[in-house]
Amino acid sequence: MRAVRAMPLAVAALLASAACGGGGDGGGSSPTTTLDGTVLDYWTGLPVPSAAVGGGGQVGTTTADGTGDFSFATVPQNGGVELSASKAGYHSTRNESIPVGTTPVTADIYIAAFADIARQYAAVGVTAAVDSVEVIVTLDDAGTPREGLALSSIVLLDSSNDTVGVGPFVLGAGGDIVPTTTLSTTTAFGGRSRVAFLNVPVGRLTLHVEIPPPNAATLTMPVTGSTNGVVLVRR
């Protein structure tokens, strides 16, 4: 009789352990926080209403409201998230990574209009290739624009370490491309030093930036583009 009574007690103990999270993987999910922001036109800085915004994975997707505002409720803490925005008349635009800690985050993102990207290509007489992206790089050193870098020291490399894309070209005062015959080194306009690569093939690439002495360094970062889109990165 004692053995018969012991079985229910053992089962009860196991159930109690499971309810308290004992054994297994702990049963808890990763902590999350919230992320709010506004979708802005990359060139005008004006809000873009009703754009689709996605972060993939646990972040998911949402649609900006009539004033361009969006919100995500479950963003994993202690990492970064890359949001993409899309809408009719605009290129799908992958934004630079947004740092996420343990507290709620507010960060605006950008989307690039077809007409503005077409103007970039026309400025330097380049025909946009099918299934290509434009990569726009903000060159920044802890809040200070990186100026005076030779454009030849900034390259995009494929998996074979071959250079890809046309450029880079400096983005000028109005955010439009400046031909290399006019500017051949990085220059800040409006407090930002930016360059653009055109006709970049879709896929995983590496941005490579050589910083000259006295603070010589080689900066690299992965870049991933989607078909006929725009990729915004910061290095």
Give me the residue spans of the domains in the chain: 32-113, 124-234
CATH architecture of 32-113: Sandwich (2.60)
φ/ψ (deg, to 5) at 32: -130, 170
Structure confidence by residue, pLDDT tens digits, 17-59? 444 444 444 445 789 999 999 999 999 999 999 999 998 778 8
pLDDT band per the 50, 70, 90 thresholds, residue 222: confident
In this structure, are residues 50 and 63 in contact, taking their beta carbons and an 8 Å threshold? yes
The predicted pLDDT at position 92 comes to 94
Report if pTM > 0.75.
yes
* Cα 94 from Cα 74, distance rounded (Å): 19
Neighbouring residues of 226: CB distance < 8 A, sequence distance ≥ 6: 84, 92, 94, 133, 202
The predicted pLDDT at position 176 comes to 87
CATH architecture of 124-234: Sandwich (2.60)
The predicted pLDDT at position 227 comes to 66
* Cα 20 from Cα 31, distance rounded (Å): 18
User: Would 32-113 and 124-234 be classified into the same CATH topology?
Assistant: yes
